[in-house]
A and B are shown apart, each in its own frame.
Chain A
Amino acid sequence: KNQVEQSPQSLIILEGKNCTLQCNYTVSPFSNLRWYKQDTGRGPVSLTIMTFSENTKSNGRYTATLDADTKQSSLHITASQLSDSASYICVVTDRGSTLGRLYFGRGTQLTVWP
């Protein structure tokens, strides 16, 4: 069964600190992996997208890594800000169908305290 598991479920850090969020998946065949940021009451916004051949992708203070062999990804946030408080969702797409089906994780709820 194709699944996307994220950890931790929730995380509280102090402003200015770094943190790393984890995503493990069993989706196969793999097409790409994306990290989304979803603010409360809003729709998800794409942060990074990585294909099979990409190991690292950065977007400002966000750096995503992908290990396609172990089927693991991480999202590292550097020098956290209050505005980073949100849910971070890992989404994996398979390439076994015309739709390119998306599999969503439940997200990690990040809270940044001043």
Chain B
Amino acid sequence: EADIYQTPRYLVIGTGKKITLECSQTMGHDKMYWYQQDPGMELHLIHYSYGVNSTEKGDLSSESTVSRIRTEHFPLTLESARPSHTSQYLCASSEMVSRGGETQYFGPGTRLLVL
């Protein structure tokens, strides 16, 4: 069982609110990721980080921002939530495995509903 945590697990908020989704891992992994997943659809990478003070945008355009001040912490922030942001947000961290590249460990996800 991977030690990666996300809070809150569920969040219902009104349009225009600022929210921060928390993600923490205790495995000392340098690489961390945020994915967005709609029901029955594939995961889409929205942000990633190679380490402290390193953040990059992923494939899917997102109005969210991230920060990486500490290795174990990778929060995602929406300055002004909209109904189109309703989705599940998954955080992951990864470690190198011999001959096989990386293995990603996922958190339990945050289900966000914006009214």
Query: Which A positions have Cβ atoms within 8 angstroms of B?
Result: 4, 31-32, 34, 36, 41-46, 49-51, 89, 93, 95, 99-100, 102, 104-107, 109
- Selected interface stretch from B11-19, B62-70, B76-84, B96-104: B96-104
Asked if B114 lies at the interface with its beta carbon under 8 angstroms from chain A, I say: no
Query: Which B positions have Cβ atoms within 8 angstroms of A?
Result: 4, 6, 40-45, 48, 90-92, 97, 99-109, 111
Closest to A34 in B: B103
| Residue contact A49 to B100, C-beta cutoff 8 Å | yes
Q: With the chains together, A7 CA to B45 CA distance in Å?
A: 22
A-B contact pairs, 28 of them (CB 8 A): A4-B42, A32-B101, A36-B106, A41-B108, A41-B111, A42-B108, A42-B109, A43-B6, A43-B92, A43-B106, A43-B108, A43-B109, A44-B90, A44-B104, A44-B106, A46-B103, A46-B105, A49-B100, A89-B42, A93-B101, A93-B102, A104-B42, A104-B43, A104-B44, A105-B42, A106-B40, A106-B41, A107-B40
Q: Give every chain B residue within 8 A of A107 (Cβ-Cβ).
A: 40, 42
Q: Report how many A-B pairs have Cβ atoms within 8 Å.
A: 55
A88 → chain B, closest Cβ, in Å?
13
Q: With the chains together, A34 CA to B101 CA distance in Å?
A: 11
| Residue contact A31 to B42, C-beta cutoff 8 Å | no
| Residue contact B45 to A102, C-beta cutoff 8 Å | yes
B90 → chain A, closest Cβ, in Å?
5
B73 → chain A, closest Cβ, in Å?
17
Closest to B6 in A: A43
| Residue contact B103 to A45, C-beta cutoff 8 Å | no
